Amino acid sequence: MLPEDRRALRKLKTRVAAEAHAPLIRNDALLGRYRHEVARGQRPADARVEQILTLNGIRSQSGIATVTVITEPYACPGRCVYCPTEAHAPKSYLTNEPAVMRALRNDYDPYRQVRSRLEALTETGHPTDKIELIIKGGTWSFYPDAYQRTFVRRCVEAANDFGGVGRETGDGGTLETVQQFNETAKSRIIGITIETRPDYVDEAEIRRLRELGVTRVELGVQSLEEAVLERVVRDHGTTAIREATRLLKDAGFKVAYHLMPNLPGATPSSDLETMRRLFADPDYQPDTLKLYPCVVIETAELFDWWKQGRYVPYDDETLIELLVQMKQLVPPYVRIERVIRDIPSTSIRAGCLVTNLREAVHCRMGSRGLRCRCLRCRQVRETADGAFTLVRREYDASRGLEIFLSFEDPDTDRVASFLRLRIAPSGTGWVRELHSYGRHVPLHQRRDGAVQHHGFGQRLLAEAERIAREEFGLQRMAVIAGVGVRDYYRKFGYELQETYMVKRLAARP
């Protein structure tokens, strides 16, 4: 008899192991045996078996499989005092961080990094047909153009080859060729994210990012306090942040901000003011946030400041209380991706050592009857039980109008699917993001209770087109689609023009 859930499965495995005086059997071993029997026709396929045996199921509950790769060590234009520098890691990264350790095992080779990650995801039961590629390591925009193109091309080649006979040498074609093949590959890259500095974003950089297939840009914002940015030697101010945000949004990109509470010169009240300004000032309004409270690393200049008493970090209680207040300021159309960086506690000389910081913050909020309403906290998980209705929210952002459409359950406040529509000053309607949450369902499949492939995305796209056409008189809609989802938009009349999927809208009746 199949256990009801993962907790029941663990109890069963523990009892069997105790009775047999044997080690606890791993889920991936059970999953491998199950798939072997299904392939031989010894048992029918059962989606519930896959779901229960999948390790770390939360990884697939955002609807995609995430593959993180790290660029090789290279110079950085920044002089930030908090940033660690290690000889064998990119600027700001440490060799004992999990993602960097994986990159080191693969000699920073992009092909091998992608392939090994896809193999690991497959072994633990995660579908790998829809991939979000996250490229980390220093300031991406400062790397040579030839390195960028080769790095991305090899990542796409690895996705194209996965499931067949992979090659770790040789040339699979130009970047444009491998991108075209990925449109119908078994493992499709539905989006690419890079991280860079605001002062390195201009029109030329945006064109280059689109040629590479980038769809989301993470900006190292850190603070909106000019005095704080100057003290940590950030070498840019808020003008660069506002301009980079506008350029990216007007080109259809999704925009994420990295924020660092607890920087030298900051106070809890100034950090809270930065969060207020993010969503009160239309020149900012990021789509996603990563909160990285400042910590002291021995290879950073800040380490000397700390030893000299020139920098004293917040204590854990102060930081948790600050994050509780910050989370309450986040609008329901923004996603808080992280509240702490993945730095091993053994590398932190001063600062927060609470590794489960998000959980600690949520516990504090729960004890006061508070809850975070960011998209990550509201996304549906395993299934989409409930009555979902269309919700529309509007806000001004970077001289344009943002319309956030979503299917939400009013009883549970859960979000099943959403779309970001930008009405830009240029007169173009931009679909900057279309996403369905819930258990990752492979392409061309349907599962009872699952959100994906049940029409939410199609309905949101149709509503966005109606709004653009009927309410704003627009004749053109453009989508910043990853190469792996171009075929999806072709089904609705979109065509590839340069690096965007574009559709001519019918005239207003």
Q: What is the pTM of this model?
A: 0.88
Q: Rounded distance, CA 325 to CA 269, Å?
A: 10
Three-point CA angle 226, 232, 235, nearest 5°: 65
pLDDT the model gives residue 26: 63
DSSP string, 293-346: ---EETTSHHHHHHHTTS--PPPHHHHHHHHHHHHHTS-TT-EEEESS----GG
Residues of the chain with CATH 3.40.630.30: 389-504
Q: Is the pLDDT of residue 56 over 80?
A: no
For residues 455-462, average pLDDT: 96
pLDDT at 157: 96
Pair 403, 392: CB distance under 8 Å: yes
Work out the pLDDT band at 59, boundaries 50, 70, 90.
very low
Beta bridge partners of 131: 65, 189
CA distance 316 to 186: 46
What value does the CA radius of gyration of the chain take, rounded to a whole number of Å?
23
Residue type, 140: W
**Which pLDDT belongs to residue 249?**
98
Determine the topology of domain 218-378 in CATH: Transcription Regulator spoIIAA (3.30.750)
Q: What is the DSSP string of 223-240?
A: -S-HHHHHHTT-S--HHH
For the chain, first and last CA: distance in Å?
A: 58
168 pLDDT band, cuts 50/70/90, is: very low
The set of residues, in sequence order, having a beta carbon less than 8 Å from that of 473 and lying 6+ positions away, is: 508
CATH fold group of domain 389-504? Aminopeptidase (3.40.630)
Percent of the chain scoring above 90 in pLDDT? 76
Whole-angstrom distance, CA of residue 11 vs CA of residue 467: 52
Task: Answer yes or no: is pLDDT of 106 > 60.
Answer: yes
* Mean per-residue pLDDT over the chain, rounded: 90
Every domain of the chain with CATH number 3.30.750.200 lies at 218-378
Mean pLDDT across the stretch 69-75?
96
Given a contact cutoff of 8 angstroms between Cβ atoms, the answer to whether 432 and 417 are in contact is no
Q: What is the mean pLDDT of residues 390-406?
A: 98
